């Protein structure tokens, strides 16, 4: 039930809206959470910072923005009518297509009436006596609910590095994660792109095609594989749709949450160099990252095995990029392949053969300052009309750490996570009752087909809430020991792989001062889902319900 009550406090008279559940964020996680909780008969309010749904796909409108998971996978499975009706035009969805899909879902399931847009939540406080979360918006509105779900996204806090002088730059500057809705035309402009992660790699070939001149400032070379994007073959679409329910179920039995790739059984070191070359070449021609990482079973576990794949890609870079110095700079050698997010590209390396593109290696230098007319790097001045920061996000914990989250019984969330996130299943935090997270840190979220993980988490949360209502329970919280065990398991699982060897956003390494701790769970969607199912079958093992 919902109601609005007026409370008179010493300072003001405030209207407090009351709900059964509050969801923060209207991306794919928040939208499905709303749908599920509504289905239980709960009165739900979703708060969303943007003026539309879609989360990541609402904000990241930079040229070339595209999903690196294939369209037929990267979509909701909860409604068979929806997945049968929707048509994806290409192998990989573009940002506008995916946003159009999110908007379609919002309309089709009548979600917007429970979403308050253009509203940023600044604090969430739990009152243990009342078992109520109370959230405050940037407009000073207050709402309460027994349950609060953080559907705030993993890559939703864009980060412009703290460069000296940025406020004095006389040209235009942009961040990929806050792209102007009207688009940007770089025709005839002198442009700088700083950063060569997925966002930079997708946009650089397109900006190069427009700009008079493009300078790319690269701190770390990344591994890119060809996306081989193409129009979706109607026959592929038809056969995929015919098997959709089975394929979606099968996806939960795979490490990345994507079915259709037979698990590799052989070590790269058991194959001859010729065999490896043939297989890597096949995978290179096929395009996509899962298929490539599935070439052998130890590419993410054994450095020597990994280097066979890494060297294959470096040789490809040398064969594509004509200038040997640029090819060398573009060849990644600071981290094992796949330990930073693998990028899927379209004409990325080829772009460095253009006369109007200059690669600036800042591996051993820094950008000293942004000047009025450009920037200063390694003692050299560069001049631009536009600077694009493709410098990434305060990933995985940034959005929650920005909010003032307190549970009235000790530490704030920021204090609790001072040395890195601690969660149970990436879904709840001990000491923060009735607060759930969708694809939180220490879940497989970012290492999986995101929408599948979102659905699994939201289903877990909705089922938990339904269970509590059925049994007259009002409060749920993980035990400290369950949380400690999960954190240990997440760390041990990561330490058995090569992932912690890279300075990645998975490690918090892109944010100065952020604790270096590997944040995603890399045990796989299959193991994670089994663990969650066991937890439920054992009466919500590791959770205390009262």
Q: What gap in Å lies between CA 442 and CA 449, rounded to an integer?
A: 15
The distance of closest approach from Cβ of residue 436 to ligand NA7 in the complex, given in angstroms and rounded to an integer, is 23
**Nearest residue to the partner ligand NA7, using Cβ:** 197
Would the CA dihedral through 459, 464, 465, 469 be positive or negative? Answer: positive
C-beta of 197 vs 433, nearer to ligand NA7? 197
Asked if 452 and 251 touch (Cβ cutoff 8 Å), the reply is yes
Applying CB under 6 A, the span of 78-86, 189-197, 424-432, 433-441 interacting with ligand NA7 comes to: 189-197
The distance of closest approach from Cβ of residue 219 to ligand NA7 in the complex, given in angstroms and rounded to an integer, is 4
The distance of closest approach from Cβ of residue 335 to ligand NA7 in the complex, given in angstroms and rounded to an integer, is 9
The distance of closest approach from Cβ of residue 198 to ligand NA7 in the complex, given in angstroms and rounded to an integer, is 4
Burial of 484 (0-12, 13-18, 19+ CB in 10 A): middle
- Strand 367-370 with 435-437, pairing: unpaired
**Taking CB under 6 A as the rule, which mask of x and - marks residues 97-136 in contact with ligand NA7?**
----------------------------------------
Applying CB under 6 A, the span of 28-36, 95-103, 197-205, 460-468 interacting with ligand NA7 comes to: 197-205
Among 153, 398, 510, 514, binds ligand NA7 (CB under 6 A): 510
C-beta of 128 vs 168, nearer to ligand NA7? 168
Applying CB under 6 A, the span of 133-141, 181-189, 196-204, 295-303 interacting with ligand NA7 comes to: 196-204
The distance of closest approach from Cβ of residue 197 to ligand NA7 in the complex, given in angstroms and rounded to an integer, is 2
Asked if 101 and 93 touch (Cβ cutoff 8 Å), the reply is yes
Q: What gap in Å lies between CA 276 and CA 309, rounded to an integer?
A: 8
Binding of residue 75 to ligand NA7 (CB under 6 A): no
The residue count for the chain: 546
Burial of 301 (0-12, 13-18, 19+ CB in 10 A): middle
Binding of residue 367 to ligand NA7 (CB under 6 A): yes
Q: What gap in Å lies between CA 473 and CA 521, rounded to an integer?
A: 30
C-beta of 68 vs 298, nearer to ligand NA7? 68
Binding of residue 95 to ligand NA7 (CB under 6 A): no
Among 251, 390, 435, 507, binds ligand NA7 (CB under 6 A): 390
C-beta of 49 vs 66, nearer to ligand NA7? 66
Q: How remote is the C-alpha of 275 from its chain's centroid?
A: 35
Size of the site for ligand NA7 (CB under 6 A): 21
Across the beta sheet with 147-150, the strand order is: 115-116, 44-47, 21-24, 147-150, 435-437
The distance of closest approach from Cβ of residue 377 to ligand NA7 in the complex, given in angstroms and rounded to an integer, is 9
DSSP state at residue 269: G
The distance of closest approach from Cβ of residue 100 to ligand NA7 in the complex, given in angstroms and rounded to an integer, is 19
The distance of closest approach from Cβ of residue 474 to ligand NA7 in the complex, given in angstroms and rounded to an integer, is 37
CA distances to 113, 327, 416, 489 from 482, in Å: 38, 49, 16, 10
Q: Binding to ligand NA7 (CB under 6 A): which residues in 200-239? A: 200, 217, 219-220
Q: What gap in Å lies between CA 456 and CA 442, rounded to an integer?
A: 15
Among 18, 196, 308, 443, binds ligand NA7 (CB under 6 A): 196
Q: What gap in Å lies between CA 383 and CA 528, rounded to an integer?
A: 50
Among 436, 505, 540, 543, binds ligand NA7 (CB under 6 A): 505
Q: What gap in Å lies between CA 167 and CA 97, rounded to an integer?
A: 34
C-alpha triplet 76, 54, 258: angle, nearest 5°? 35
**Taking CB under 6 A as the rule, which mask of x and - marks residues 152-181 in contact with ligand NA7?**
---x-----x--------------x-----
C-alpha triplet 373, 379, 382: angle, nearest 5°? 30
Q: Binding to ligand NA7 (CB under 6 A): which residues in 445-504? A: none
Query: Which residues would be at the binding site for ligand NA7 (CB under 6 A)?
Result: 155, 161, 176, 194-200, 217, 219-220, 341, 362, 367, 390-392, 505, 510
């Amino acid at each position: 039930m919902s109601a609005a009550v007026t409370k008179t406090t010493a300072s003001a008279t405030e209207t407090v809206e009351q709900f059964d559940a509050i969801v923060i964020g209207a991306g794919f996680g928040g939208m499905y959470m709303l749908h599920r909780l509504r289905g239980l008969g709960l009165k739900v309010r979703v708060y969303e910072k943007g003026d539309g749904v879609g989360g990541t796909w609402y904000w990241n409108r930079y040229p070339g923005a595209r999903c690196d998971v294939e369209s037929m996978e990267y979509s909701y499975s909860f409604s068979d009518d929806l997945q049968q009706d929707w048509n994806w035009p290409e192998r990989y969805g573009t940002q506008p297509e995916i946003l159009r899909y999110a908007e379609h879902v919002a309309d089709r399931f009548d979600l917007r009436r429970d979403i308050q847009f253009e509203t940023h939540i600044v604090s969430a406080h739990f009152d243990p006596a009342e078992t109520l979360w109370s959230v405050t918006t940037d407009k000073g509105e207050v709402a309460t609910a027994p349950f609060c779900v953080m559907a705030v996204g993993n890559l939703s806090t864009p980060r412009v590095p703290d460069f000296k002088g940025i406020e004095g730059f006389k040209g235009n500057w942009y961040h990929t994660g806050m792209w102007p809705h009207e688009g940007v035309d770089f025709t005839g402009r002198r442009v700088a792109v700083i950063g060569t992660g997925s966002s930079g790699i997708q946009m650089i070939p397109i900006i190069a095609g427009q700009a008079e001149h493009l300078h790319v400032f690269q701190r770390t070379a990344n591994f890119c594989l060809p996306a081989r994007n193409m129009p979706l073959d109607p026959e592929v679409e038809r056969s995929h749709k015919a098997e959709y329910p089975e394929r979606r179920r099968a996806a939960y039995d795979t490490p990345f949450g994507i079915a259709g790739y037979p698990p590799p059984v052989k070590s790269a070191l058991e194959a001859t160099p010729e065999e490896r070359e043939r297989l890597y070449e096949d995978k290179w021609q096929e395009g996509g990252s899962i298929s490539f990482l599935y070439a052998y079973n130890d590419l993410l576990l054994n450095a020597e095995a990994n280097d066979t794949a890494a060297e294959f890609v470096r040789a490809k870079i040398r064969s594509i990029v004509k200038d040997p110095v640029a090819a060398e700079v573009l060849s990644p050698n600071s981290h094992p392949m796949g330990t930073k997010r693998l990028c899927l590209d379209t004409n990325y390396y080829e772009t460095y053969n253009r006369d109007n593109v200059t690669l600036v290696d800042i591996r051993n230098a820094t950008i000293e300052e942004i000047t009025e007319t450009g920037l200063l790097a390694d003692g050299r001045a560069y001049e631009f009309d536009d600077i694009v920061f493709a410098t990434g996000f305060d990933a995985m914990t940034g959005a929650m750490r920005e909010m003032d989250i307190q549970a009235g019984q000790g530490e704030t969330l920021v204090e609790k996570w001072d040395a890195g996130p601690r969660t149970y299943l990436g879904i709840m935090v001990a000491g923060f009752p009735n607060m759930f997270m969708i694809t939180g840190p220490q879940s497989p979220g970012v290492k999986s087909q995101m929408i599948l993980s979102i659905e699994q988490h939201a289903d877990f949360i909705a089922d938990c809430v339904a269970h509590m209502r059925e049994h007259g329970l009002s409060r749920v919280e993980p035990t400290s020991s369950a949380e400690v065990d999960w954190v240990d398991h997440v760390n041990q699982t990561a330490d058995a792989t090569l992932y912690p060897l890279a300075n990645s956003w998975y490690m918090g390494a892109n944010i100065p001062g952020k604790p270096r701790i590997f944040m995603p769970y890399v045990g796989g969607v299959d193991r994670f889902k089994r663990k969650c199912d066991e937890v439920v079958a054992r009466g919500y093992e590791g959770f205390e319900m009262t």
